[in-house]
Structure 1
Amino acid sequence: MSQEQQIIEKLQHLSPAHLEVINESSGHGGYYPGKESHFKVIVVAEIFHGLRLVQRHQKIYAEVNSLLAAGGGAIHALAIHAYAPSEWQGEAPNSPECAHAPKS
């Protein structure tokens, strides 16, 4: 199972109303086809209602920790955008350009 699919599976535990997992590995240094090291997740879930940003991130990290490099996995970076349903406007911010991105 791909890293992306594993993230999706684990984040389903939060009962999201909306979930996007975007593999952004190609925009980072050392990329090769099939690499799965940098992801952005957009999670909209009722569980985030009333929680501060750091608490929302902690809930996501608790679900995916085993996939992150620090937890023994292969994912190097995870950009998190976590919203309660009442806050969700339909889009999350773009990720910044990586200083070590492959040059075209």
Structure 2
Amino acid sequence: MQAQEVKQIIESQLDGCSVYPAGEGCDFQVTVVGDLFAGLTPVKKQQLVYQCLQQHIASGAIHALTIKTYTPEQWQTLQS
């Protein structure tokens, strides 16, 4: 699996989100930015992203996944 595939899977399931993937093979890191994360607990945010990739994790196509989530405002602050 490629990082671009991971990006497409997440973006197709989480409307309005931007995904910044890294990694290769079966080890990936994703940063996901979207308004849907506003007001959610850290666990709920991770669950939303994890659900998108669950079948790929179960199949072993993804072995390790690091998830970071931000609202657009939080992301903008980090980029400054």
Q: Give your verdict on TM over 0.5.
A: yes
How do residues 1-104 of structure 1 correspond to structure 2 at under 5 angstroms?
Answer: 2-12=1-11, 13-14=13-14, 15-16=16-17, 18-23=18-23, 25=24, 36-68=25-57, 71-88=58-75, 89-90=78-79
Q: Which runs of 4+ in 1 moved over 3 A?
A: none
Larger radius of gyration: 1
AA aligned opposite 1:10:
I
Q: Give the match's secondary structure for 2:4.
A: helix
TM-score by length of 2: 0.82
Shift of 1:43: 0.6
Distance in structure 2 (CA, Å) of the matches to 1:52 and 1:65: 20
Note if contact 2:33-2:72 (Cα within 8 Å) is conserved in structure 1. yes
Matched pairs, number? 76
Note if contact 1:3-1:67 (Cα within 8 Å) is conserved in structure 2. no
Q: Give the match's secondary structure for 1:40.
A: strand
Structure richer in helix, relative to its length: 2
Distance in structure 1 (CA, Å) of the matches to 2:47 and 2:7: 17
Over the aligned positions, Cα root-mean-square deviation in angstroms equals 1.7
Shift of 1:65: 0.7
Q: Percent identity of the aligned residues?
A: 30
Q: Give the match's secondary structure for 1:86.
A: helix
Contiguous gaps of at least 5 residues in structure 2: none
Contiguous gaps of at least 5 residues in structure 1: 26-35, 92-104
